Structure 1
């Protein structure tokens, strides 16, 4: 069996595994939609100030997309790696021609496709709720690369966790702080001055910087954050690409192919 056939076979298996899990489908597609309906449709945004949801709706496009780009790969890849470990399925795969990076690539391809579809739905809903969004071609690059990055991180968490429940707990423990402390829902001005540089250590920040710079025409007061970021869209994309490569390589390396 060729490498392409091995990856394609695992892609089909991963997709079928996803659609059979209704909870996974709900949190990938309907949970982010629920957030938009509540906050962009009912609560509304743009009240001024520096607090949560105080900016115009377009400012929060990276935040809504981050819900899918961050949570879906962390929870799905993390739990899938842990599930394969508990069922000794990696040991069986190790006797086949498939390599661990091929397995992770197949899982990543499924996640990228599903996340991209979910992001299209979210963007359409945001436009319907009146958000002023500049639909940029950069979105077709940031969403897949961000998904690859967190698929790699999810593989790390699943490899290091002691069980499937532990992997899910770890993914939520990582995702929740990153979601709110990575220049997504909270503006830099709403955080303490000493904490603002720390947000630049989060890989999600560069997703948020790049997507916001590409889709939202900010007033001068919001055009930059700490230390001159977000900078150019291309610069943020370059950093995100480097982080994605590192995360994928490390995640693949940590997969316990043989216990």
Structure 2
């Protein structure tokens, strides 16, 4: 006698590289939609994330801008905005860190790992959701910059290249946040992440010239990945900058590409490996 069951068939594992890639993209998109839906249920948090950099722009543009001078002249607001764009890309990494560590601490990540899904989908899906939110945040900042008088002067092609460098920095830093979230697995440790983010954002050429800092501190600021992105985007937008004769200052565009690629080469494989080996 044959017994019929209604048990769902388990999909056959992907065998070719193209099949595995399609599988990973489909699973990653599911996780991306999950994270976006979580944000949609918390509009107050999203509003705070968008309003914080706007408040910083208004504070520096209208409260402190009158006392700022740019070497060689130039409008301070046009000088300020590329740095604020980059600062927006750096801030907010705590949200990624917290989401990853919370899922790991609550066992959500373990449930994902028990499903027949791509092993990289959870971390790539989370990064994709964050990048979509970053695009929205950057668009808001560009609109705010235009409202306070910022303009780009080098044409749309170079402006898009500058936006690409900003998003590349964000994408690379996200993987550092993902890896740390998987390692720490403690949402309450978000303060430790903030201790890393704030020096990265402010120990740079965003608000002050590295030449005015003590020698060792100025060298750290010049070689900061964010400083490279800020200097490169100021050049691409045609906005005034600090200049400088050091190798890092003269090759900011090269470093603005090299630093994110180095960070990706380090933290992307570490994040995927850490996800695969949780609890081992």
TM-score w.r.t. length of structure 2: 0.79
C-alpha separation in 2, matches of 1:256 and 1:80: 18
C-alpha separation in 1, matches of 2:150 and 2:170: 24
- Is 1:209–1:229's contact at 8 Å kept on the other side of the alignment? yes
Structure 2 counterpart of 1:192? 214
- 126, 138, 161: which is aligned to 2:184? 161
What is the number of residues matched between the two proteins? 252
Greater shift, 130-139 or 85-94, is seen at 130-139
Cα distance change of structure 1 residues 228 and 123 upon mapping to structure 2, 3 Å threshold: same
C-alpha separation in 2, matches of 1:201 and 1:49: 21
Q: Deviations over 1:118-163 (max 9, x none)?
A: 1111112112111243361213311221121111111122123251
C-alpha separation in 2, matches of 1:217 and 1:30: 24
- Is 1:199–1:205's contact at 8 Å kept on the other side of the alignment? yes
- Is 1:47–1:55's contact at 8 Å kept on the other side of the alignment? no
Cα distance change of structure 1 residues 199 and 232 upon mapping to structure 2, 3 Å threshold: closer
C-alpha separation in 2, matches of 1:41 and 1:247: 39
C-alpha separation in 1, matches of 2:184 and 2:138: 29
Give 1:98 deviation, angstroms. Answer: 2.8
Q: Deviations over 1:179-237 (max 9, x none)?
A: 11022222212311222222244332222222222124437xx3235335242535522
Structure 1 counterpart of 2:78? 58
Structure 2 counterpart of 1:175? 197
Stretches of structure 1 lacking an aligned partner (at least 5 in a row): none
Structure 2 counterpart of 1:122? 141
Structure 1 counterpart of 2:27? 6
- Is 1:33–1:122's contact at 8 Å kept on the other side of the alignment? yes
Cα distance change of structure 1 residues 213 and 83 upon mapping to structure 2, 3 Å threshold: same
- Is 1:236 paired with 2:256? yes
> Secondary structure at 2:198's aligned position in 1?
helix
Q: Deviations over 1:74-98 (max 9, x none)?
A: 2121101110111111211111233
Cα distance change of structure 1 residues 46 and 98 upon mapping to structure 2, 3 Å threshold: farther
Structure 2 counterpart of 1:44? 65
Cα distance change of structure 1 residues 11 and 113 upon mapping to structure 2, 3 Å threshold: same
C-alpha separation in 2, matches of 1:232 and 1:173: 25
Structure 1 counterpart of 2:100? 81
- Is 1:19 paired with 2:40? yes
- Is 1:40–1:126's contact at 8 Å kept on the other side of the alignment? no
Structure 2 counterpart of 1:250? 270
Structure 1 counterpart of 2:229? 207
TM-score w.r.t. length of structure 1: 0.85
Cα distance change of structure 1 residues 92 and 143 upon mapping to structure 2, 3 Å threshold: same
**Bigger radius of gyration:** 2
CA RMSD of aligned residues (A): 2.6
Greater shift, 63-72 or 129-138, is seen at 129-138
Cα distance change of structure 1 residues 228 and 95 upon mapping to structure 2, 3 Å threshold: closer
